Amino acid sequence: MCPTAGRAGVKLACVVGARPNFMKAAPLIREMRAYPDIVPILIHTGQHYDLSMAGRFFQDLELPTPDVSLNVGSGSHAQQTADVMKRLEPAFAEQRPDMVVVVGDVNSTMAAALTAVKMHIPVAHVESGLRSFDRTMPEEINRIVTDAIADYLFATEDSGRDNLLREGVDAGRIYLVGNVMIDSLEQYRPLWQASPVHERLSVAPGTYGVVTLHRPSNVDDGPVLERLITALRDVSAAIPLIFPVHPRTRLRLESMNGATISACGTNADRTRSALRLIEPLGYFDFLALVARARIVLTDSGGLQEETTALGVPCLTLREQTERPITVTCGTNHVVGTTPEKIVAQARRVLDGGGRAASRPYLWDGKASQRIVRVLHGVLAASR
């Protein structure tokens, strides 16, 4: 039975499409269900994962079975966006939500916002106003478009609010609420702290680093990926690096020459390699691994936030970040993709030269409460 069956009230449709969305939507759905007059509708577009692959994340995060699964799958940005819109339109027509809530900056986020607006359904965007100012990033376009058409904009940090005001958004539509990613991190702290991942990987806390790479600008460009692997290999001479490999990245590595694969360490020889490739981890195992790392090297936006909340030094392997508070307040260093810069900064961090950090304002695990309180008030006033 649908978990919302039999309930009457305003309908909030929360649309998710990729793994980062799940961690952002989970605390929102949980908070919505605490209101007797809110009916949450969970719509999974399947942008990156079909339901069978996403099931582990849904189970870990206590997300209900989606009310609607669109099974869009992969494709070009245009194909994926178009497919989400085509499949969402009849879903919205059937479900008749009073508002659509979108999170983050993936293609499904923009597609859902566009579809809702064209159907005259109000849109709330969680994680509004983040800007890298690099329009070659698909996520940047998704952020700009979604913010331009959303009715209610929830920012994680001051820079988000400032960007929206500069773009002409009315201040009355902007809410500084904190970060829902941190809500999930804190909600499930006892579970990820109890993870046996260190025993499974035979590593001691505080003796290793963690690597993630998945952005097209890093993994689809052969020379850039070669440079990054060179840098990681050099850093791993100072500290072992554990590299849960994103499927996209694994395909690129497998298509490269044998020397590069050997430099990373295959499954067969990874116990002897300082740079260990492993399969992707579940949410709890991954958080446990990151929380006890000495250093993290990544191109992930969400991981910049999580390392800041956890106080773990982070090197961002990009030329810019849309989350500047992780640099000004947190543990993040933006180092680009040049091996010399990456290795030099890693050595400084490992020698004790990491950034003195504090947790950003309102990153207290209560962002979802603030968001749903606003939405509940808005919807109640409109009835």
Task: Give, for all 383 residues of the chain, the pLDDT tens digit.
Answer: 344 444 568 999 999 998 889 999 999 999 999 999 999 999 999 876 544 446 677 788 888 889 999 988 878 889 999 999 999 999 999 999 999 999 999 999 999 999 999 999 999 999 999 999 999 999 999 999 999 999 999 999 999 999 999 999 999 999 999 999 999 999 999 999 999 999 999 999 999 999 999 888 999 899 999 999 999 999 999 999 999 998 878 888 888 754 454 445 444 444 445 999 999 998 999 999 999 999 999 999 999 999 999 999 999 999 999 999 999 999 999 999 999 999 999 999 999 988 778 999 999 999 999 999 999 999 988 87
Global pTM value: 0.91
Look up 214 and say whether it is catalytic: yes
What backbone torsions phi and psi does residue 276 show, to the nearest 5 degrees? Answer: -100, 120
State the fold for domain 10-178+364-382: Rossmann fold (3.40.50)
191-353 is classed in which CATH architecture?
A: 3-Layer(aba) Sandwich (3.40)
| End-to-end CA gap in the chain | 28
Q: Are 51 and 80 in contact (CB under 8 A)?
A: no
How far is residue 325 from each of residues 115, 184, 334, measured CA to CA in Å? 32, 19, 12
Residue with tokens 């390699």: 273
Same fold across 10-178+364-382 and 191-353: yes
DSSP tally for the chain: helices H, then strands E: 18, 13
Would you report the helix, strand and coil content of the chain in percent, each value rounded to 5?
A: 50, 15, 35
- CA 16/CA 45 separation, integer angstroms: 6
Domain regions of the chain by residue span: 10-178+364-382, 191-353
Active-site residue (options: 44, 214, 246, 376): 214
